Structure 1
């Protein structure tokens, strides 16, 4: 088994896209970096596997463009619903004009390897179960307690001393909870499931989104279904719905995926078996407090960096991994205020307006009334793709980008609890 180091400068817990990106960039900055994960790689993760142009940009900056192009490339979104079908190319601009889709079993393993090649040490099968804190230093973490299962069936615990801690342990974030992370469900959250199924459309250059998702009673649900071609004979097929504390989701995701697949079997040449069906609950839009402390920070899904309008989280994970590494490279200063400010500055406005719009979709009957109107407008859907897909870059100055940012500022000003607070 891999040896667990006794100490490190930067300890990253969780080797998904966020954690592996943080470890890769941290190591490239010359910091002694240890990357831990509870699972043994390669391992699966519930996800749609889609990689938007924003995610492609981050993967390209890590040096993975050629690897990504060797998998599959898509050129945009095919939107279905309410009697309409629209082909919406990726807008390009300051971001790439292409996307991809890679199963998380493969993507996460490759990103973890990228972090190791950058100089990070990676140990899998090591679950972070607790922290040690310094007395009288406002909760500064001095060590993380790690538990490992041994070949003889026993378990061992190790303490790893660290100067700085990055928490990237996913949507449930058990280590984040120990540090004070709280998920607030008064704003919108997601319930989603995914599966793999053979398809004659596995090489389709378009990803498909069905905005008119119906249940067994033919009622329109507050969510959407997707089919993302993987280029390997299969597609990722999934469905998700939105909910709030006031309007919780009342749907069984796995039967819904089967119903969705049955409806599309002929048009997408789908096989009969839905392989590896899984589901997950998704905190969204920065709906958490306690994202940082004196020497620790939450990133990616652990910080609820998930798009409320489409459930996308990989691009935010990759970005927050890079951003936190940049912050760590500046020195040993306090992380609490700077990291929360970084999250608010990059995502606060867009998350606020996105979760407000997504919350409207949970109002019974509203999507069924407005969906047909929206799908008849190609311009409106093109704008929606850009806004919903997190494709407004900080450097964009066009009218659509300015309108989105203005809406974000107005939304934040009216939030009872702004993102990350």
Structure 2
């Protein structure tokens, strides 16, 4: 069928953020077009992990039973500096106490299908290449497809086209690399630990010469005889990453092969550059907004972005229904929800981008169950707005003071 020529809401990008936005907007009774450059199912570079916060958003969408049909994990097994700790997902008001891992090829396809069932109209193989803008308002988006270019006019536009956000760039999005960012890669490999009830993270990541690196490796069981194995390193403009990710993943796999019963070769290796912690400006205009990865809504401490994508998709749909001026309301909402946490998280991650500091502090942290439990909660984005316990109060206190020190706060 030909693509619609106009719609109430045009969502560009059908990953978790875009599909969530399309689902909620369609449920609100709006006409929605969900466009993507790919043909589904398609792959996406990702660790595939679903934290309890992501599970909570999937539950809101009515997908809990579907997720539970996949692997279920109970927490994090942390390795490093001669220690191994098993840390259960904490009990947090309003969130489940379990996680999962679903390959993005399957997850994104299912979320998109869920949006179409809710009433959104899907357009595939359509790459957004330009926008018709009048007075700051996007009147139409130009797409390039197999049969040439075409336009879709829209009252509102949601930009969910990923970390590179080509449409965001057209609209003035700018990524600031003075704060910490990540270079990460993932692969798949067969493993006897595919049904392990723990996700694993190695906080002592070493390179080919045995040198400690500012990053970590992960193994996420998928329950199908394989695991998602990946590695990521932290960098800033002052300390740029100078590491080949795919060879690093091979070194990491060789190091842990026996412990995790790995067999065969790494496959489907892919890497990505991740802007994190709201390190972008120009995230909205009068009738358009960036969400998810496009708005750098990625946790600076662990590279997690699926939960933020699902959340921002729901939140922007609510704002579309309310008819707010997105240019002021959307950055204010992002700042209110994530600003303080992103500020302190990227400040901490920036410190850990220094391998010498990581070498000094890593063993101290790994010897303390309390510190690592707190780290799991903070790194996993497991502090909700309603939490009033000591860990939440400390996190918010640190966030407020961190924002006060920022020369460029998140989303500015």
Q: Normalising by structure 2, what TM-score?
A: 0.99
RMSD across aligned positions (CA): 0.6
Q: From 138, 143, 162, give the equivalent of 2:140.
A: 143
The count of residues paired between Structure 1 and Structure 2 equals 411
State how 1:241-260 maps to structure 2 within 5 Å. 241-260=233-252
Q: Residue 322 of structure 1 corresponds to which residue in structure 2? A: 314
1:263 to 2:255 alignment:
yes
Displacement of 1:310 after TM fit? 0.2
**Structure 2 Cα separation of the partners of residues 68 and 321 of structure 1:** 19
**Structure 1 Cα separation of the partners of residues 92 and 291 of structure 2:** 27
Runs of 4+ in 1 over 3 A off after TM superposition: none
Q: Residue 288 of structure 1 corresponds to which residue in structure 2? A: 280
Displacement of 1:271 after TM fit? 1.4
Could you tell me whether the CA contact under 8 Å between 1:92 and 1:98 is conserved in 2?
no
Displacement of 1:92 after TM fit? 2.3
**Structure 2 Cα separation of the partners of residues 232 and 28 of structure 1:** 33
1:353 to 2:344 alignment:
yes
1:414 to 2:405 alignment:
yes
State how 1:333-348 maps to structure 2 within 5 Å. 333-348=324-339
Q: Secondary structure at the match of 1:85?
A: strand
**Structure 1 Cα separation of the partners of residues 185 and 16 of structure 2:** 19
Could you tell me whether the CA contact under 8 Å between 1:193 and 1:280 is conserved in 2?
yes
**Structure 2 Cα separation of the partners of residues 92 and 49 of structure 1:** 22
State how 1:69-218 maps to structure 2 within 5 Å. 69-94=68-93, 95-134=95-134, 137=135, 139-149=136-146, 155-218=147-210
Instruction: Structure 1: state its 5+ residue gaps.
Output: 150-154
Could you tell me whether the CA contact under 8 Å between 2:214 and 2:234 is conserved in 1?
yes
Could you tell me whether the CA contact under 8 Å between 2:92 and 2:383 is conserved in 1?
no
Q: Residue 235 of structure 1 corresponds to which residue in structure 2? A: 227
Q: Residue 28 of structure 1 corresponds to which residue in structure 2? A: 27
Displacement of 1:261 after TM fit? 0.3
Q: Secondary structure at the match of 1:8?
A: strand
Displacement of 1:272 after TM fit? 2.5
Q: Residue 152 of structure 1 corresponds to which residue in structure 2? A: none
Instruction: Structure 2: state its 5+ residue gaps.
Output: none
Q: From 219, 241, 245, give the equivalent of 2:211.
A: 219
Could you tell me whether the CA contact under 8 Å between 2:212 and 2:355 is conserved in 1?
no
Q: Normalising by structure 1, what TM-score?
A: 0.97
Q: Secondary structure at the match of 1:273?
A: strand
Q: Deviations over 1:82-127 (max 9, x none)?
A: 0000000000222110000000000000000110111111111111
**Structure 1 Cα separation of the partners of residues 228 and 117 of structure 2:** 29
